[in-house]
Amino acid sequence: MIDGRHLAFWLATFVVLAASLWLLHAILLPFVGGMALAYVLAPSADRLGRLGMNRHVAALMIVGAVVVILIALTLLLVPLLLQQGSALIAHIPGYFKRVQEILVDPNFPWLNWLGSGDQNKTVSDLMGQVATWLLGFAYSLWTGGKALVSFASVLIVMPVVTFYLICDWHPMIETVDGWVPVRQRETVRQLAREIDAAIGGFLRGQVGVCLVLGAYYAIALMLVGLDFALLIGLIAGLITFVPYIGSMTGLMIAGSVAIAQFWPDWKRIAVVVGIFLVGQFVEGNIISPKFVGERVGLHPLWMIFAMFAFGYLFGFVGLLLAVPLAAAIAVLFRYALRRYLASPFYSGEKPT
């Protein structure tokens, strides 16, 4: 059992860590990224160690392979994605104009229900609000992810951090374990195992979901002939890391481009919409249960809230930390709830 003094100690520790994270989040990206990679890659180093390989050599091989893969993907995909991204940005004014022309077409008086008799004014107001929101969102991404500007430092520092953390992973775990009070050590270990299972299960499962859905959206949209299909599909697949948000974001972007590109061909527009509806159905009923499963114990709404909350508070670093922090909070909350339900205070019994 963890008494009030120990609970206060851990709460104070959490507050100090949160304050430090908020103050230093602009420079923590390579370190947080390195910790995330080390967490994912440490089991591979363990397997190589069981085969007789020196752990430092194993860590060097693993980190080197990851760096080579990332560089190869960067050289192959980034130029194409940058080309499509710049072209999409250049086409946005034309898409807005085209959608506005469709909306104010007298043959389709769709906007009367908004309560304004002046459709052109209504559409202009809507476009102004959308543009303001997009500019605010872009600014928040820029200010929240300033460390991304120093991308070279990330490429240099993050592999070094990953290498040293993989090498020292088990000694670090043993050191931290030694700091836990002896009487609470088994409880803390059990909680740590539950947190590790939740984080590992979600990360491995959701990465698989992102890869499958990103490939599906990109290929399906290219077959339909949608402009910027590869970029839109990969973005939708990547954002799927936040449950449901990726599909909805991809649907809005692809639907807008499809209306501007294919109108008045309703069939092709409906096909684009159908691609995302099918993807959402397959994700929720087939892919996610298979890759993620119920044992992770992280509700989609909790993950959406955690992503937005930590991203808002700590920028891009907060997005990287959202999953482990959300998993830890969820496990600790369930533990506290179990303790409460088993307590005399809940049952009304007098303590013995």
pLDDT score at 324:
81
Element (H, E) at 198: helix 185-224
CA distance 291 to 69: 23
Q: Are 287 and 212 in contact (CB under 8 A)?
A: yes
Q: Are 275 and 260 in contact (CB under 8 A)?
A: no
Contact partners, residue 256, CB within 8 Å, separation at least 6: 95, 99
Mean pLDDT over the full length of the chain: 75
* pLDDT (mean) for 158-176: 88
Determine how many CB atoms are found less than 10 A away from the CB of residue 273.
15
Quote the distance between the C-alpha of residue 150 and its chain's center: 21
Closest CA to 228 of 217, 241, 239: 217
Which CB contacts under 8 angstroms, 24+ apart, belong to 201-207? 201/292, 201/293, 201/295, 201/296, 202/292, 202/296, 202/298, 202/303, 202/323, 202/327, 203/40, 203/323, 204/291, 205/288, 205/291, 205/292, 205/293, 205/296, 206/240, 206/241, 206/291, 206/292, 207/241
pLDDT of residue 61: 92
DSSP state of 285: I
| Model confidence pLDDT, tens digit, residues 289-306 | 666 655 556 677 777 788
Dump pLDDT digits (tens) for 137-149. Answer: 555 544 544 444 4
Q: Tell me the average pLDDT across 114-120.
A: 46
Euclidean distance between CA atoms 31 and 160, whole angstroms? 9
In the block, tokens 């890659």 appear at: 41
DSSP state at residue 181: -
Give mean pLDDT, residues 210-230.
Answer: 87
Measured distance CA(50)–CA(42) in Å, rounded = 13
Q: Are residues 59 and 45 in contact, defined by beta-carbon separation less than 8 angstroms? A: yes
Q: What percent of the chain has pLDDT over 90?
A: 4
Q: Which two tokens stand for residue 134?
A: 């997009």
The model carries a pTM of 0.66
Residue 349: band (very low, low, confident or very high) from pLDDT cuts 50, 70, 90: confident
Amino acid of residue 126? L
The C-alpha atoms of residue 62 and residue 45 are separated, in whole angstroms, by: 7
Could you tell me which residue, 157 or 122, shows the higher pLDDT? Answer: 157
Whole-angstrom distance, CA of residue 229 vs CA of residue 298: 31
Q: Which pLDDT does position 62 carry in this prediction?
A: 92
Three-state SS at 116: coil
Instruction: Give me the pLDDT at residue 117, please.
Output: 47
